[in-house]
Chain A
Amino acid sequence: MEIFRLSIYLLIIIFIGFNILYLLSPKRNKLYFLEKIAISYGIGFGFVSLEMLIFHFFKLEFNINEIILPWTILFILSAFVYFKNRKNIIVHEKIEADTKAHRGLKIFLIAAITFEILYAFFRALVKPLEAYDAIAIYGIKAKIFYLAKSIPYDFFRNLALSFPHADYPLNIPLSETFVYLFLGNLNDQLVKVIFPLYFVATLIILYFGIRRFASQTCALFFTFLLASIPQFSAFATNGYLDLQLGYYYSTSALFLFLWFKSTEDHQFLLISAVMVALAGWTKNEGLMYCLVNIGLISIFYAVDREMPIKKKLFHLFSYISIIAIISLPWLWIKGSVHLANDEVQFANLNISYLSKQYYKIVPIIYEFQKQTFGPKKWNILWLIMIFVLGFKYKDMFKKNQRYISIAMSLTILGYVLSYIISRSEIHYALGATWSRFLLHFLPIVMYWLANIVKEDIEP
């Protein structure tokens, strides 16, 4: 019975996300069906949890019917828009049929990806939430909200401060609460189904992202590489949110790169804006990715001289507005009750402080090399990347790849800066976080590698 309820719950979440995705661009359909489902999953969770946060402003209690009811307006609206536009929809070009070469390899890759997916579900669902952050930061909040059937009115001023990291966004804790509400009990084992589903969604998005420019073998190859990275699959199961942030950011970046290739497809830009805003609603680091994407669009504008300035400003304004609208409720709460991060202090962003932090560079480089050469978490991914970049470094700056290169450089710079201004002891901070931070842009690393080596591995 619980499994049945859970299935209904997931279908509702995906359906809500699907409608939002549809309304982002009803006249253009340039996404593949599975890709839409994978994006809808993340959008559905993000928007329902945002709605639950808004309930807090109106002191409303959580109730399944009341949470779902407002979305019926959306269903009616999308049905209305669909019937109005159904004859004028611009659809995507069909993916070119693959050659029959490498059949054995493809069967192996599909089998291996399937194994990783099933194993991720098994590992997630075989035991309840138990990892440190999963219960200390996220699980406890979900439990509080479920037992109170709301976000208690004084939660942010009072109760939240009893637990670590009160300033962390509530996308996943509220999503967990919604699962509990649907199940009717605190089943902290079944609630973990959320996590491997994000894993599957990321794999689907990466697959179709690569499939747009490469063969099925190439897309399966890199999807398999991602799925089989021990650190990536482990974080699909433990209730931490780094893979979820990776999903939101990678989707946003991937669709931004697609928009750079075809700027008339506004759907891609809108998806990118929504997903990066939801990254900020999932983890604090997501706000850095909002800045990275905005910076990337600005660089794109500086290079691209064909687009009229008015159009450029309109796109940039739309992008920032979407991020602002989605982020506003949470930032409002954080600002009004002065929820600040207890580790990264932006007040430290000044010359006199930074000039005393140079000693952190050595441990940062040491930790980077430790991750690079350690196969336990990453297999030989970083070695392959160094090898590929060594031999094909010119490809990093080719038209399509340069923005990915810039995005990754900005990301790494952002993280290095966060370590430098952090007041945590540097060895501890690096040991506890760097291997998790890498997950945030790991799918984009795969996408980047696929772009660079696609000609070398095509049949």
Chain B
Amino acid sequence: MKDRILKLAFTTWIIIWAFFIFRELFIKSRFSDYKILLSRSLEGKRSYVTGDKFYEFLTFCKRNLPQSAFYDLILIKKGDIELDKIRAIYYLYPSLKKIDPEFILIYNELADEKIDHGPFVGLEERGFIGTREGAGGKGVAYYLNPQAGKDGSKFVLIYNTPDKRKIEYETFIKLDNNKYILRKKKI
């Protein structure tokens, strides 16, 4: 009896073990991920795990931002935005993400889509408005001038902090119309 229970438990264990390895490799497509990863260089692997388009943007920012710059990041994209932000912070170091920065990095993957989801909600006539945790929990609101996505002329950042400062930014450099860096306008 004891032997039979033991054999049954062990057989069940092996079946589940084999099933989950199979599931990970073939049903969750890890096998094809591995095939792609094995064919890439280290930089290519970083790009693959981050998402090629987003990594291209981060590389563009890294190349163009001055050494140890202060930046903030606006991501309008699908997927796990928190993870993408943290990856951006990791790759862009020694530049640092902070509130009231010199540069604002705009990555808008959904420019051609109707924005009705994600943390940056509400496509209004004038552009995107999004809030972000931070600033002592009060949140920071961004307002994108609709022209910014087209000719990059102007970007206004409105802090929803008690003093409600308005800081103007202008285009610093563009990767394309939806991916660009803004720099604080010199007064």
Complex Cα–Cα for A143 and B96 (A): 13
- With A128-B49, A456-B6 as known contacts, state yes or no: A135 contacts B16, CB within 8 Å: no
Measured as residues with beta carbon below 8 angstroms from the partner, the interface class of chain B is: 20 to 34
1/0 contact string of B34-49 vs chain A (CB within 8 Å) = 1001100010011011
| Interface status of B26 (Cβ within 8 A of chain A) | no
Tell me whether B6 and A162 are in contact (CB under 8 A): no
**A126 contact from B20, B34, B97, Cβ within 8 A:** B34
A219-268 contacts to B, CB under 8 A, are 225, 228, 230
Looking at chain B's contact residues, is the secondary structure mostly helix, strand, loop, or mixed?
A: helix
Main secondary structure, interface of A, reads: helix
A380 in contact with B90 given A128-B42, A128-B46, A128-B49 (CB within 8 Å)? no
Q: Which residues of A contact B37 (CB under 8 A)?
A: 126-127
Interface stretch of the complex, out of B81-89, B120-128, B135-143, B179-187: B81-89
Instruction: List the B residue with the shortest CB-CB distance to A130.
Output: B49
A386 CB–B CB distance under 8 Å: no
- Other-chain residue from B6, B17, B45, B89 in contact with A140 (beta carbon distance below 8 A): B89
Knowing A162-B98, A228-B13, A384-B9 are in contact, say whether A140-B20 is a contact too (CB < 8 A): no
Quick one: which of B97-113 are within 8 Å of A by CB?
97-98
A140 to B86 Cα, complex, angstroms: 9
A187 partner residues in chain B, CB cutoff 8 A: 42
Q: Which residues of A contact B97 (CB under 8 A)?
A: 162
By a CB distance below 8 angstroms, the chain A residues around B48 are: 127
Alpha-carbon distance A144/B93, docked complex (angstroms)? 8
Q: How many angstroms between the C-alpha atoms of A189 and B98 in the bound complex? A: 28
**Knowing A126-B37, A128-B42, A162-B98 touch, does A375 contact B16 (C-beta < 8 A)?**
yes
Is A130 a contact of B17 with CB atoms below 8 Å? Answer: no
Q: Is A376 an interface residue (CB 8 A)?
A: yes
Q: Mark A132-149, 1 if CB is under 8 A from B, else 0.
A: 100110011001100100
Q: Which of B2, B20, B42, B50 sits near A456, CB closer than 8 Å?
A: B2
Q: Is A379 an interface residue (CB 8 A)?
A: yes
**Residues in chain B near residue A379, CB distance under 8 A:** 13, 16-17, 20
Contacts between the two chains (Cβ within 8 Å), count: 66
**A132 adjacent to B83 (CB under 8 Å):** yes
| Bound-complex Cα distance A163 to B89 (A) | 9
Is residue B12 contacting chain A, with contact meaning CB distance below 8 A?
yes
Cβ of B94 within 8 Å of any chain A Cβ, yes or no, is yes
Q: Which chain A residues numbered 97 to 154 have a C-beta less than 8 Å away from chain B?
A: 119, 122, 126-128, 130, 132, 135-136, 139-140, 143-144, 147
Contact residues of B between 4 and 37, Cβ < 8 Å to A: 6, 9, 12-13, 16-17, 20-21, 34, 37
Residue pair A380, B13 in contact (C-beta under 8 Å): yes
A230–B89 touching, CB < 8 Å: no
Within 8 Å CB of B2, what residues of A? 456
* Complex-state Cα separation, A132 to B82, whole angstroms: 9
Would A127 and B16 count as touching, CB distance under 8 A?
no
Cβ of A457 within 8 Å of any chain B Cβ, yes or no, is yes
Partner of A135 from the list B45, B86, B96 (CB cut-off 8 Å) is B86
Bound-state CA distance A276–B94 (Å) is 34
Residues of A within 8 A of B94 (CB): 144, 147
- Nearest residue (CB) in A for B20 is A230
CA of A285 to CA of B51 in the docked complex: distance in angstroms?
Answer: 34
A457, closest chain B residue (CB): B6
Question: Which chain A residues border B46 with CB–CB below 8 Å?
Answer: 128, 130, 188
User: Which 5 residue pairs are nearest across A and B when measured between Cβ atoms?
Assistant: A130-B49, A136-B86, A135-B90, A228-B17, A126-B37
The 16 sampled A-B contact pairs (Cβ below 8 Å) are A127-B48, A127-B49, A130-B49, A132-B83, A132-B86, A135-B87, A135-B90, A144-B94, A162-B98, A189-B42, A228-B13, A230-B17, A379-B17, A380-B16, A387-B9, A456-B2
